[in-house]
Amino acid sequence: MRRAVFLDRDGVLNRAILREGKPHPPETLAELRVLAGVRDACRKLREAGFALILITNQPDIARGAVTAQHVAEINGRLQRYLQLDDIRVCPHDDDAHCVCRKPQPGLLLEAARGWNIDLASSYIVGDRWRDVEAGHRAGCQAVFVDHGYRERQPDGPYLRVRSLREAAYWIIETANREWRRHA
C-alpha cells in the first residue's frame, strides 16, 4: 500500500483571497499565486515516497459563481506545476449533504481506493477546520496551516504550522521515525 499527503488547495498550495477575514479561491488564472516554498515542499514529499493528492471543496460551482471548467483550469495548472498525482473536487455546497464535501471524508476515501493508499500512514494538510476533520474521519494524521482566519478553529489532534514547507518537514521526519521504529 502507498502513503499519501492529501493537500487542500486554497491557502495551502496557492494564496487564498481574504475577504472579511475569510479565505476565498482565486477567481481567475491571473489571480492564482502558488505560495512560497510549495513547489519545493511537494518535490520533497514526492521524493520521500508520498503520493500527492489535491482534495478541494469548490462550492462556488454549485453556487453558479464559477464553472467546473474554470476550476479544472486552475487545478490543471497546479497539477502540472507541482507534479500532483491526482485531483479530487467536491463541487457541492453544504445543502447537498454529499459524502465528498469536507468535513466528510469521501474525497479521501475515494482516492485511497483508487490509489491503494494506507490512510493510517497518510497525512492531510489543510487550512480550515473542515480539512482537519475530514482527515480525522478518514483516519489520517492532520496538519493545520494556520493563517489566522476569522472562523472556527479545528478540533484536535493536529499539528499547527504556518506553511506547507513546515508541514512537509514534519511529515517527512515523522514518517522516517515511524519507518525506523518498524524496520
Residues belonging to the active site: 8, 10
By the 8 A CB rule, do 17 and 25 touch?
yes
* Separation of alpha carbons 66 and 105, rounded Å: 24
- Output helix, strand, coil percentages for the chain, rounded to the nearest 5: 40, 20, 40
Beta strand spans in 41-175 (E): 50-57, 86-90, 123-126, 141-145, 159-161
Query: Do the bridges between strand 141-145 and strand 17-19 make them parallel or antiparallel, or are there none, so unpaired?
Result: unpaired
The H or E element that residue 123 is part of is strand 123-126
Grid cell locating 20 = 472579511
